[in-house]
Every structure is written in C-alpha cells, then in structure tokens.
Amino acid sequence: MHMTTTAVTSFLWSVVQKLWVFCPVLLPTILAYVALAPVSLKVWIGAQFAPRRNKHRDNTSDLIPSFLYPHQETIVLAVFLIVATLVDIFVKEVPVMKALIMFVILNFPGGYSVSRLPVRNHNLVIGRFKEGAPFFYQMKEEETLVFNTCACIAAFIVCFGAMLYEPHTFLRDLCQVVLYGSFLHLLLLGTAVPMSRVSREERRPKDNLVAGMIGGTICIAVVAGAIFYMGRRDGPFVLSDEDSVLVHANVSWYWSMICFEIIALCYKMDYTFAQESGHVKVPDLKLRQPEGEKSDTSTDRTQQYVVRIPTSFQPSFDKPYFYASLAGLIAAAVFLACFITCLEAMGRTILGYEWVRFYLSAVAAPFVCAFPMALAYRKREFKKVWGYRERWMDIPDLPVRVPFAVSSEEKSTDTESTDSAAGIELCDEESILREEKDKEQVDLV
C-alpha cells in the first residue's frame, strides 16, 4: 500500500514538473485568449451596427483585397516571423552574428508587439464597407508622454533580453515569455474578424468543431508518435529546441489562431444565449456629435459613420462554453504531461521534450472542441449549440434619429450608470481622428 502511494505521488510530481515546463507557452496563450475574446465580441457587435460605406478614408481598400484589410498587422508580423525563421534555419555559423541578425529583424515587430499589449484601456472603432470584411482599430483612451516613453523603453528591454542576453537566467526566460505572448497577442488580434466569414454570411459551430476535431486528432497522433520515437529503448533521440525554437514557435502561433477561432466563437455564443434569455440588454445606439458642429441626429450621412465602442462597454454574462473551451486547453497540457510521464514509467528515456510545449495548441484542438460539446450535452442544449449561427453580414435597420451620447461630465452625474455603460456610439470617423491628433499634440506640449 505504501509503495502504491509512493508511486502515485512520484507520478503526479513528474506530471507537475512537465506542466511547469509547459507554462512559458501555456500561460501566455490562456492570457491572450482571455484578453482577446471580448475584443472579438465587440468587433462582432460593432460590425452589426456600423453603416455600410463605399471606400475607406485613405483609399487603401483599392490596393488591398477587402478580405485582407482587417488582417494587415497579422500578415506583416507573420512575414517578419517567417523571415526570421528562415534565418534561424539556414544561418548556422557565427552564433553572435546570427543573434545580431535576428535582433535586427525582430526588434521592430517585437517592440511594436510589446507596446500593443493590453495594459491600458482602448476604445474600439469598427467600420464596414458595402462589400467585404469590416475593419477595426484600437485607440487609447488617453495619451501620456510618460507612459508612451516607458512603453518604448520596456519594449526594447524585452527584445534585448529575449534575443541578445546570453546567460540563461530568470530575466532572459521572462523576456522570452513576454515576447512570445506579445507576438501571439498581435497575431490573434487580426483574427478578431475571421477570414472564414467573408465567403459566406454566417459561421456555424459544427463546421469549426468538426474541422478542429479531425485536424487536431491527426496532430495528436503525429506529436504522440514523435514523443514515442524520441523515447525508444535503444537510446533517446534528442531534438534540440535551441537551434529551431522559432520553427516550433511558429507552429504554436498559427495553431493558436485555429483554437482562438473556436474559443472566440464560444464566447460570442455565450453572449447571444445570455441576450436571448434576457440577462444582457441589446446595446443602445447613440450619436457622438463632433464639437462645434450643428446639432443633427439624423443618420442620412451613413457613408461617413463608424461605430465607436467605449471602454465602459463591459457586458457581464455567464460564459460556460467559453470556460469549457479554455478547460479543454488545460486538459490537453495535462494529457501531454501524463503521456510523457507514462512513457518514462515504462522505461523509455525522454530527453529534450521541451519542444512539445509549442505543440500544445495543435494537440488542444480536439479538447477545445469536445469540452463545449460535452457541456452542451450535459446541459441538454446540444441541438441549440449545434444549430447556432454567428451572423456577420446582417444589415441592421438604423433609426432615422438616434439620441446623443452622454458627455463625460454628464456621465459622472448620471445615476443610471449601468444603462449608459451598455451604449455604443455612432460617430464620424474624421472627427475621431481629429480628436486623436489633438490628444497627441497636447501630449507633446
């Protein structure tokens, strides 16, 4: 009995050790999903209210296909990462020179990604073309020179510490975790508008779930087979993750996008179900009138309007399917840790398995799909979830006149703060950009 207890304790401790090795990838991934799922919801809500317009203000829609417009930052960052990966693969001589080349390539996208981390509140602006995907961008609620300067310095320190700091210390590991998470955050931010939605009017969970289950099951077989081969009895096969870490990281980033499609879908599905049950009110649409202009609440000039979602818009609702999908991600990490520990208990020597953590998102896809469906079956909502539709192309009937948005002074004295927090604003894009430019000029002064 004592030997059995000792064996179980040893097994569990080994699993915990491997989960600790997975944490540098698992924790940033969970944090990115938690931070970006509400952004995806707001973009989806704003896209329903945003009036359709002919062209973007700078005519870039003539140069870029409409279905790629919301994904520009993601595509540019992906190009930088692919170039850096090719350098990492083919440049083997002179490690110091290689590190400098990698720093030159990734310093700008790395610094930009770190500066875009959601450490401050952002207003969200969403617009729609008459054809193609909606576009959106984030605007800081307030600009301060001190914060911007500190953010730039912190971004440089993180990039330097992650790529050029030689000693394997806690500081370097921390910088690498932050840089990995910042790249993941910016890559996933562009997928708040899913490309799959452009070709049809709606997204159905069953399509994503079936594709995720099939693709993820294949990945589980491949990853499990690779781990099994590495631990063969005639001597361990060690795969060095130092020489090809970017290759593994790229696989992790792009598979994280696939998992995020499902997780964000579950988040918006929770919101829709809460709205249908009456626990969440339909957002109020208000007009934000530019200062100095004649009061006009008509929405005849729909070509110039975009939707602005302020930081106060924070709907509170139950998220069972969202949490179930995140639980699937954690369950995948536990599964891999147990699998490796079982192989070690069978006498196989597993060395260099740290690269496995970059394939957590690939292995997690079936778990992320299966957990919400299991919850739906348990709650007797399987048909409801299976038949859910996420519609993107609906054109709402805007009212002829909409009420004015409450000013900041009036908001502070408004007793019904919960109702005002549920509002979104219809405003002229040029006036928003002028206000942003004025903030920057005041900040510089």
Q: What pLDDT shows up at residue 239?
A: 47
Average model confidence (pLDDT) across the chain: 75
- For the ranges 79-88, 151-160, 195-204, 377-386, the one whose mean pLDDT is highest: 377-386
- For the ranges 183-187, 389-393, 420-424, the one whose mean pLDDT is highest: 183-187
Structural domain range at position 196: 2-444
Q: Which residues contact 247 (CB under 8 A, 6 or more apart)?
A: 85, 88, 89
DSSP string, 97-109: HHHHHHHHHHHHH
Query: Using CA atoms, how far apart are residues 84 and 101, in angstroms rounded to an integer?
Result: 9
DSSP string, 190-259: GGGS-GGGTTSSEE-HHHHHHHHHHHHHHHHHHHHHHHHHHT-TT-PPP--SSTTHHHHHHHHHHHHHHH
Residue count of the chain, please give it: 445
Q: What pLDDT shows up at residue 30?
A: 94
Contact 296, 335 (CB under 8 A): no
Residue 199 banded pLDDT, cuts 50, 70, 90: very low
Query: Using CA atoms, how far apart are residues 213 and 262, in angstroms rounded to an integer?
Result: 11
How confident is the model over 104-141, as pLDDT tens digits? 888 888 888 888 888 777 788 888 777 667 788 887 76
Q: What pLDDT shows up at residue 142?
A: 64
Query: Using CA atoms, how far apart are residues 374 and 340, in angstroms rounded to an integer?
Result: 26
How confident is the model over 60-72, as pLDDT tens digits? 444 445 545 557 7
Q: What pLDDT shows up at residue 266?
A: 92
How confident is the model over 294-306, as pLDDT tens digits? 545 454 454 567 8
Q: What pLDDT shows up at residue 70?
A: 59
Q: What pLDDT shows up at residue 442?
A: 42
pLDDT at 4 over 80: no
**What DSSP element (H or E) covers 424?**
strand 423-428
What is the signed CA dihedral for 114, 116, 118, 120, rounded to 10 degrees? 110
User: Rounded mean pLDDT of 284-295?
Assistant: 62
Confidence (pTM): 0.83
Q: What pLDDT shows up at residue 398?
A: 54
Domain count, the chain: 1
Among 88-97, 136-145, 198-207, 288-297, the range scoring the smallest mean pLDDT is 288-297
Q: Which of 189, 192, 193, 184 is nearest to 254 (CA)?
A: 184
Tokens of 149: 């300067």
Query: Which residue carries 């207890």 as its tokens?
Result: 5
**β-pair partners for 286:** 425
pLDDT at 409 over 60: no
Query: Using CA atoms, how far apart are residues 309 and 312, in angstroms rounded to an integer?
Result: 8
DSSP 94: -
Tokens of 244: 């090809």
Burial of 277 (0-12, 13-18, 19+ CB in 10 A): exposed
Q: Which of 309, 314, 391 is nearest to 124 (CA)?
A: 309
**305 phi and psi angles, rounded to 5 deg:** -95, 145
Contact 116, 32 (CB under 8 A): no
Ramachandran area for residue 352 (φ above 0: left; ψ -120 to 50: alpha; else beta): left
CA–centroid distance for 327 within its chain: 17
Q: What pLDDT shows up at residue 149?
A: 79
* Residue 206, CA distances (Å) to 166, 318, 372, 388 in order: 47, 22, 12, 9
One-letter identity of residue 11:
F
Q: What pLDDT shows up at residue 198?
A: 47
